[in-house]
């Protein structure tokens, strides 16, 4: 078979890195970084996800069409998020619903 066999050593190394990343995420969450909290959280998560895709899922050793599929999926998700937010962030009140305080309106 013309497949690339990834050694368990690499898997263990990746696993270790993922554990470190998880630990860092929690630590960072307990520090007040203002608007950067979410950026750090997503950056670490993306780094972890990338490792899983490249090594556990063998994307690094896969044919180009597989890599294209991965890139397209991420890109399309990014389009959905970015273009929708481009509408929200440019609306009045950022498109938020402003309801009068009415806890009793819960009973529909």
Partner 1 sequence: MHRTGELYGQFETLEQQKDTASFGMWVFLAQEVLFFGGLFMAYTVNRRAYPWAFGAGSSTLDLTLGGANTVVLILSSLTMAMSVWAAQVGKKRLVTWMLIATLGLGTVFLGVKVVEYKQKFDHHLIPGHGFDIRYVSQHPELAKNPEEAAKEAEELDKAFAKDPDLNAHAQLYFSLYFGMTGLHALHMIVGAGLLLWLIAESIGGRYTPKYNTPVETVGLYWHFVDIVWIYLFPLLYLIDRHN
Partner 2 sequence: MPREHYLNATYGIRSWLLTTDHKRIALLYLASVTFFFFVGGMFATMIRIHLLTPNGYLVSPETYNKLFTMHGVAMIFFFLIPSIPAVLGNFLIPLMIGAKDLAFPKINLLSWYIYLVGGSFVLYSFATGGLDTGWTFYTPLSSVYSNSAVTPAVIGIFINGFSSILTGLNFIVTIHTMRAPGMTWFRLPLFVWAHYATSIIFILGTPVIAITLLLAGLERMFHLGFFNPALGGDPILFQHLFWFYSHPAVYIMILPAMGVISEIIPTFARKPIFGYAFIAGSSIAIAVIGFFVWAHHMFLTGESTFAALAFSFLSYLVAIPSAVKVFNWASTLYKGSIAWDTPMLYAMGFIGLFLIGGLTGLFLACLGLDIHLHDTYFVVAHFHYIMVGGAVMGYVGGLHFWWPKITGKLYPEFLARVAAVTLFIGFNLTFFPQFILGYLGMPRRYHNYPPEFQVLNVMSTAGASILALGYLLPMVYLIWSMRYGQVAGPNPWPATGLEWKTDSPPLTENFHVTPEVTWEPYDFKNRQDLGLVAGTRPLAPAHGDD
Residues at the interface with partner 2 (CB under 8 A): 65, 72-73, 76, 79-80, 83-84, 86-88, 90-92, 95, 97, 99, 105-106, 108
- DSSP characters for the chain? ---PPPPHHHHHHHHHHHHHHHHHHHHHHTS--TTHHHHHHHHHHHHHHHHIIIIIS-GGGS-HHHHHHHHHHHHHHHHHHHHHHHHHHHSGGGG---PPP-GGGG--
Q: Which does residue 48 bind out of partner 1, partner 2, none, counting CB within 5 to 8 angstroms by kind?
A: partner 1
Kindly list the residues in this chain that would bind partner 1 in the complex (CB under 8 A).
1-3, 5-8, 11-12, 14-15, 18-19, 22, 25-26, 29-33, 37, 41-42, 44-45, 48-49, 52-53, 55-58, 62-63, 65-66, 69-70, 72-74, 76-77, 80-81, 84-85, 88, 94-97, 99, 101-103, 105-107
């Amino acid at each position: 078979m013309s497949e690339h066999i990834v050694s368990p050593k690499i898997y263990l190394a990746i696993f270790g890195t993922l554990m470190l990343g998880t630990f860092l995420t929690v630590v960072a969450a307990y520090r007040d970084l203002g608007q950067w909290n979410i950026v750090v959280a997503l950056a670490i998560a993306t780094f972890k996800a990338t490792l899983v895709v490249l090594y556990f899922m063998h994307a690094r050793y896969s044919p180009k069409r597989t890599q294209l599929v991965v890139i397209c999926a991420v890109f399309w998700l990014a389009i959905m998020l970015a273009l929708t937010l481009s509408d929200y962030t440019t609306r009045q009140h950022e498109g938020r619903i402003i309801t009068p305080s009415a806890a009793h309106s819960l009973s529909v």
